[in-house]
A and B are shown apart, each in its own frame.
Chain A
């Protein structure tokens, strides 16, 4: 923006002299910004990442004031502008509205800072919940969490959005027990079927085999796999496939679920990073799943299997998973308000919302960084 007469300078003039703020549309924006900013009162800092600081806040337009999380995006003057994470989060959360997706309540700009007002989700996340040994939960509870997660995911896919980072600590819990997909910093649209996308997404343990083999064209099936591994983890209460490297992850998959081959996955050997597996037998059938995931019954085991098919084309879609018969058989899913919960508290919110903004290369693919090598 020009140093003289830039919109910001104009708006400064307007702030100093509110008497003539009537005419300009631009000032309307600024006034809206001020109104929005005044509506949300920022409280204490909950957490901080490389790109964002998360504060506890309150929406003062309600009585009593509703708690919110305010994520203030830091802008370094020498940077590439707004980071891709922030851009994606804003881009998708502005358009997606669903009870099982974290809501972006408002956005306001002030002093070259962008603040996202997000709903406050003090219930922690599924990772924390599973780790808490003092806490027990039932199959009906798992059904409830899975149902909500699948609904949120199906909504994304119906709107051509891939989440690309489904894992237990991105499945957040509201005060009333409702589960919400969070962290859209890696999300992207898959409406153009012919565009290549990076395979460096999704935290390793939850990454599907097609991405490990370097697929650059993929679909909602990647998220379904991730959610399938979360499902298995909820049942087993330990990560299903805790690999240490890309190859290690592939070998874990082969040993646990079967070795990918042209027989069970036509076309797999043509993927860019294909290496013939040296371990594992044929793809596991129903017997294996029923044995391993006995606690959720035959139908439940069938859904786990459907979500964890090696060949992405054979995997159930989120939409199909939603209609799976497991959700119709007993036991019925627990009502969210009666789900076991852990007091995550404020600190947890800071961690949940701030985390994605740190460059945690250990657990996270390089997709967080700008990939200039080609289209993402």
Chain B
């Protein structure tokens, strides 16, 4: 992090309303409607889960810091608000996002090593030519208008953990929920602290023991069953958050704190719903389906 969120380029240039984001994507699709029809791709969030899984594999292999991977995911999102995905080789783009994010987060990787690893993971789509990575890096920077600093919700979580007296279970659940927020559009729609507060709220409402699979993205598996009860809890608590109706003691205290903090409650409710609905669509995730549809697109369009 550098500078602060309120005066950041992220707030000024990379925050959208839902409607604006939908417009942008619709106009991207409209550019080449034929390809869009010809090469159907999985639902955005499912695709995000897939890309995230791929990035984590690459990151694990090279011991890349989590913050760099988080930044890479934001770059990927930003890039695809500017460039139609069907005009790109997503594997190259995501590898390059990781490469660039590592530079920005001050943990640079050798381009040759990264290209080599990427090639090992996706031999059909990555030739390992470093000039392609370098060229792609330039495009990503250029499409992002050189706004490179990304603020993440993790810092807010770290700061609030002692202040709100979160248990280590709650804190780590919240951390995982933040990880999951990168699978949604939330980072393009809301301030990092709003996402952090949502994650804390969910972590406290859904005790990890109840919510089981909550925040499961790190493992690349969908949240476990038993989500029904969890969703019901969330629904009740969200209502309490919105209306100020007292819930049970701990949650009550938290909602009070939120009310007093002046955070945008509506935004919080919206974030909560986005996260919950992510866990709902997660059941439909199939790595194989994503891989096949992307593969077909890349091959037939000659993108690699």
Residues of A within 8 A of B (CB): 1-8, 10, 23-26, 29, 32-33, 75, 77-82, 84, 87, 90-92, 94-96, 107, 109, 112, 114, 159-161, 188-189, 191-192, 195, 197, 370-372, 375-376
Q: Mark each residue of chain B from 126 to 147: 1 if its CB lies under 8 Å from any CB of chain A, else 0.
A: 0000111111111101110111
Residue from the set B28, B134, B146 with the largest chain A CB neighbour count within 10 Å = B146
Interface stretch (choices B103-111, B192-200, B241-249): B103-111
Tell me the interface secondary structure of chain A in the complex. Answer: loop
CA distance A195 to B105 in the complex (A): 11
16 A-B contacts, Cβ less than 8 Å apart?
A1-B132, A6-B88, A32-B145, A79-B111, A80-B110, A81-B103, A81-B133, A82-B137, A90-B141, A91-B148, A94-B9, A114-B142, A188-B106, A192-B1, A197-B106, A376-B106
* B109 A372 Cβ-Cβ under 8 A: yes
Complex CA gap A87/B155 in Å reads 23
Q: Are A90 and B146 in contact (CB under 8 A)?
A: yes
**Closest chain A residue to B107, Cβ basis:** A375
**Given A24-B28, A33-B142, A78-B131, A159-B302 contact (CB < 8 Å):** no
Write out the residue numbers on chain B whose beta carbons fall within 8 Å of the beta carbon of A79. Answer: 111, 134
Question: Is there contact, CB below 8 Å, between B3 and A95?
Answer: yes
Alpha-carbon gap, A192 to B152, bound state (A): 12
**Interface code B186-212, partner A: CB below 8 Å = 1, 0 otherwise?**
000000000000000000000000000
CB < 8 Å: which of B8, B148, B301 contacts A4? Answer: B301
Give Cα A79–Cα B130 distance, bound, in whole angstroms.
8
Q: Which of A112, A189, A197 contacts B2 (CB 8 A)?
A: A189
Contact partners of B142 in chain A: CB under 8 A: 29, 33, 109, 114
A32 to B7, CA, bound (A): 23
> Nearest chain-B residue to A116 (Cβ)?
B146
A274 to B193, alpha carbons, bound, how many Å?
Answer: 41
Chain B 96-133 interface mask (CB, 8 Å, partner A; 1/0): 00011001101111110000000000000000001111
Out of B2, B138, B145, name the residue touching A161 (CB < 8 Å). Answer: B2
A351 to B7 alpha-carbon distance, docked (Å):
32
CB-contact partner of B87 in A6, A78, A189, A192, under 8 A:
A6
B1–A25 touching, CB < 8 Å? no
Interface string of B1-38 (1 = CB under 8 A from A): 11110011100000000000000100110110000000
| B46 at the A interface (CB under 8 A) | no
Q: Is the pair A25, B9 in contact by a Cβ cutoff of 8 Å?
A: no
Residues of B within 8 A of A (CB): 1-4, 7-9, 24, 27-28, 30-31, 65, 81-84, 86-89, 92, 99-100, 103-104, 106-111, 130-139, 141-143, 145-149, 155, 298, 301-304
A195 to B304, CA, bound (A): 37
In contact, A114 and B138 (Cβ under 8 angstroms): yes
Most interface-central of A84, A94, A188, A376 (chain B CB within 10 A): A94
Contacts known (A1-B88, A5-B301); A26 close to B138, Cβ less than 8 A = no
Residue with the greatest number of chain B CB neighbours at <10 A, chosen from A6, A90, A107, A109? A6
A8 near B139: Cβ-Cβ < 8 Å: yes
Enumerate chain A residues within 8 angstroms of B100, measured Cβ to Cβ.
81
Name the A residues within 8 Å of B81 (CB-CB): 25
Q: Which residues of B contact A8 (CB under 8 A)?
A: 139
Quick check: B148 and A1 within 8 Å, CB to CB?
no
Shortest CB-to-CB span from A222 to chain B, Å, is 16
Whether the Cβ atoms of B137 and A95 lie closer than 8 Å is no
The answer to whether B87 and A370 touch across the interface, beta carbons within 8 angstroms, is no
Name the CB-closest residue of B to A83.
B103
Given known A-B contacts A75-B138, A95-B149, A23 and B31 have beta carbons under 8 A apart: yes
User: Given A2-B304, A191-B155, A376-B108, is A23 in contact with B30 using a C-beta cutoff of 8 Å?
Assistant: yes
Q: How far is the CB of A59 from chain B (nearest CB, A)?
A: 18
Residue among B82, B109, B110, B142 having the largest count of chain A Cβ atoms under 10 Å? B142
Which of B30, B65, B134, B303 meets A81, CB within 8 Å?
B134
Which of B132, B134, B141 is in CB contact (< 8 Å) with A80?
A: B134
Q: Is the CB of A191 within 8 A of B303?
A: no
A7 and B2 contact, CB distance less than 8 A: no
Which residue of the partner chain B has the closest CB to A7?
Answer: B83
- Complex Cα–Cα for A375 and B108 (A): 8
Q: Which of B24, B89, B111 contacts A25 (CB 8 A)?
A: B24
Write out the residue numbers on chain A whose beta carbons fall within 8 Å of the beta carbon of B86: 5
Contacting residues, chain A, for B7 (C-beta < 8 A):
95
* Assembled-state Cα–Cα distance A114/B107 (Å): 23
Q: Whose C-beta in chain A lies nearest to the C-beta of B2?
A: A189
Q: Are A370 and B108 in contact (CB under 8 A)?
A: yes
Q: How far is the CB of B166 from chain A (nearest CB, A)?
A: 20
| A189 B82 Cβ-Cβ under 8 A | no
